[in-house]
């Protein structure tokens, strides 16, 4: 076989957190989509996942979506979502757009938003603060400024150009 020949991807395994309502919703959405590449959806850190992928960090798969290709490729975070979209017939063009440098920023923002929502669910504060799913909102009166090319940045006293010390 020619070493420069690409091996076609015929299947992907999506490891998702079965205890997360958002993850369950998205896994069901993926199951309903017409696909160009077979998608197997397996609960993260499950016995099946551990048997199929012994070399994967299964604790990490509970924190972040992980997709494993049939040739052993491992994708996490925004790349995992882009690969999932790439596998879907109606969403492959979107996956190509998200794989560009500009699209990667959008994909990263979407993943960070989902992660923030999941973290909010885990702390149990979603019921305590309806409408404030992320644990708060960016407010101009708190010093937040929106820059179309960069996003939100903190421009409060002591934070020149949004470069605030951590803590």
User: Where do the domains of the chain lie, and which CATH numbers do they carry?
Assistant: 11-98 (3.40.30)
HSE-up (13 A, CA, CB side) for residue 85: 17
The whole-model pTM stands at: 0.67
Please report, rounded to a whole number, the percentage of residues in the chain having pLDDT higher than 90: 46
Q: Distances in Å between the alpha carbon of 6 and those of 2, 3, 97?
A: 9, 8, 22
Say whether pLDDT at 88 is over 90. Answer: yes
Q: Are 61 and 49 spatial neighbours (Cβ–Cβ below 8 Å)?
A: yes
Confidence band (pLDDT; 50, 70, 90) for 104? confident
Question: Is 145 strand, coil or helix?
Answer: strand
CA-based end-to-end distance of the chain: 55
pLDDT, tens digit, for every residue of 144-166? 676 676 666 666 555 555 455 44
∠ CA 13-71-47, rounded to 5°: 40
Distance CA 37, CA 8 (A): 10
Residue listed under structure tokens 């991807």: 9
């Amino acid at each position: 076989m020619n070493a420069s020949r690409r091996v076609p991807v015929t299947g992907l395994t999506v490891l998702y957190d079965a205890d997360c309502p958002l993850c369950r919703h998205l896994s069901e959405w993926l199951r309903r989509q017409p696909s160009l590449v077979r998608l197997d959806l397996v609960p993260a850190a499950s016995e099946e996942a551990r048997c199929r992928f012994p070399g994967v960090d299964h604790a990490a798969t509970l924190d972040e979506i992980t997709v494993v290709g049939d040739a052993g490729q491992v994708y996490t975070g925004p790349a995992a979502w882009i690969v999932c979209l790439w596998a879907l017939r109606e969403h492959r063009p979107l996956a190509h757009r998200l794989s560009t440098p500009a699209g990667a920023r959008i994909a990263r923002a979407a993943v960070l938003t989902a992660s923030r929502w999941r973290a909010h669910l885990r702390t149990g504060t979603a019921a305590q603060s309806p409408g404030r799913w992320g644990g708060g909102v960016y407010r101009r009166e708190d010093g937040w400024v929106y820059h179309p090319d960069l996003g939100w940045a903190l421009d409060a006293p002591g934070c020149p150009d949004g470069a605030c010390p951590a803590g």
